[in-house]
Chain A
């Protein structure tokens, strides 16, 4: 039997399809990206080797830093606005029981299953200064001008609102299952000891949720870095470059500005930042666990 289980040919045939897709669609493009990032390739014609020129330019590129800042803002939006509400809602939802619990859970998650294309265009219409939902709500409160949320100055906030709104259900659901996994006996014991509901929340639910919170925060940071689709359709990084994210920016460089080499330099740095963030978060959270 051991012979059968260490048959190299069988093993090879089992992992080959997976490895092959990985090689074609993930590893090869990364290698190619590193190569093109060292050239001045425009997408057409010849690629001349330019060394680290693209990377040197990237460090001084204000738009790149702006994109990184926008990711940080989005991560903060997730962690400081979306998550506290999500934890609270998940906790209340768990208490609710019965039909309302399932129905509300369904409603909160619903925007998540809807295509980003629909969501982005829907919010474009909501933000429309002529007939949008936001404009009408503002008029209801006596506002008389016409407000373009996607205009200069407010655009990034308008984009953040959409992203925080769209992702709310996912974050909530993860907290919700975390809370569901807490043993009811713990709550019963707390109730016997006469704990109020806010005491239960802060002294029992939150501490027991630590691993889930850590996981969710990591996920939020990574997804803030990876953001592209919604922003691409809502503003395409504009007005100016106010709402640029790393992914929209690299795409713009390659497809709109014919700086294919430069776009690839952004790709490479983008990958490095994502890897670094993942490793860093894991380290940070693992160390804390040891310290406690």
Chain B
């Protein structure tokens, strides 16, 4: 019995390790060959020990591309998107769960509809709309759809959380003479910390790596985001593989750092999105 358990344990541990290798190895391969000379990709085996480490690939990747500019754009656009989604979602869900009006059900339904609409089906018409209202190639061309497509999930998460928060506290403040906006800011927002964190993380995960909309709505490098560092560099240095590998590693790095920092919150966020979805 004990022996059997042990054997079972070993096989399952093996499964876990094999899968970890499968998930991780392509990334290790990428980093490995970002540190050698391009030719070595052809001549060496599966992995190679870099001697010497060619950090110059990274400095070139950093300074010969728009990497830093695009990184800045990505951070700015995503921060704005997260803030707007949190604010809009909290406002709308407060109106729909707390306040009394005839259309609240209908508006909730409308906002949730966005959960089912495939983003890419709006690419073609949005191009025309954005060109008509003259926001193509501006930050708004990314911000508006990023907020719009993350809002349904944000609205869903905040309104289901608001349902579980007792109303008495805010009702008391409202009686005390605070207006609805102040109650929202002072009482409701602080109580919503957990769900705001989830909404922020989901919005970030939705938008950080997005590039199809950016590719469609932007033409100049002004507002392009991080994925374009990879897309542009592969064209520019088509035979210099090591540098391309370096750019790819660099582009992946910010997301990996954020993931390691927010690991617990991200796990919780995905879980909360799932359990309540």
Interface residues of A (CB under 8 A from B): 1-2, 4-8, 10-11, 14-15, 17-19, 21-22, 24-30, 32-33, 36, 85, 88-89, 92-93, 95-96, 102, 104-111, 113-118, 121-123, 125-126, 130-131, 133, 136-137, 140, 165, 168-170, 173-174, 177-178, 180-181, 197-198, 212, 215-216, 219, 222, 225-226, 228-229, 232-233, 247, 250-251, 254, 260, 263-264, 267-268, 270-271, 274-275, 278
Contacts and interface: CB of A to CB of B under 8 A. Distances in A.
Interface of B: 5, 8, 12-13, 15-16, 19-20, 22-24, 26-27, 29-30, 41-42, 45-46, 84, 87-89, 91-92, 94-96, 98-101, 107, 110-111, 113-114, 116-126, 128-129, 144-145, 147-149, 151, 155, 171, 174-175, 179-181, 205, 208-212, 226-228, 230-231, 234, 241, 244-245, 248, 251-252, 255-256, 258-260, 263, 266-267, 270-271, 274-275, 277
Contacts, number: 280
A89 B19 CA distance: 9
A8 B99 CA distance: 10
A108 B126 CA distance: 36
22 contacts: A14-B94, A14-B99, A15-B107, A17-B87, A24-B148, A25-B144, A25-B149, A28-B129, A29-B125, A102-B263, A106-B259, A111-B27, A113-B259, A115-B252, A117-B228, A126-B29, A133-B46, A197-B8, A250-B124, A254-B123, A263-B124, A271-B117
B20 A17 contact: no
A7 B174 CA distance: 13
Contacts of B209: 114-117, 229
Given A108-B19, A108-B20, A115-B208, 20 more contacts: A5-B98, A10-B99, A11-B95, A15-B96, A21-B148, A24-B129, A27-B110, A28-B129, A29-B126, A36-B124, A88-B15, A102-B263, A115-B227, A116-B211, A117-B209, A117-B228, A177-B267, A216-B274, A229-B211, A270-B121
Nearest to B259: A113
A269 to B, nearest CB: 9
B126 A232 contact: no
A89 B151 contact: no
Given A19-B110, A117-B231, A136-B46, A26 B23 contact: no
Secondary structure at the A interface, as helix, strand, loop or mixed, is helix
A176 to B, nearest CB: 8
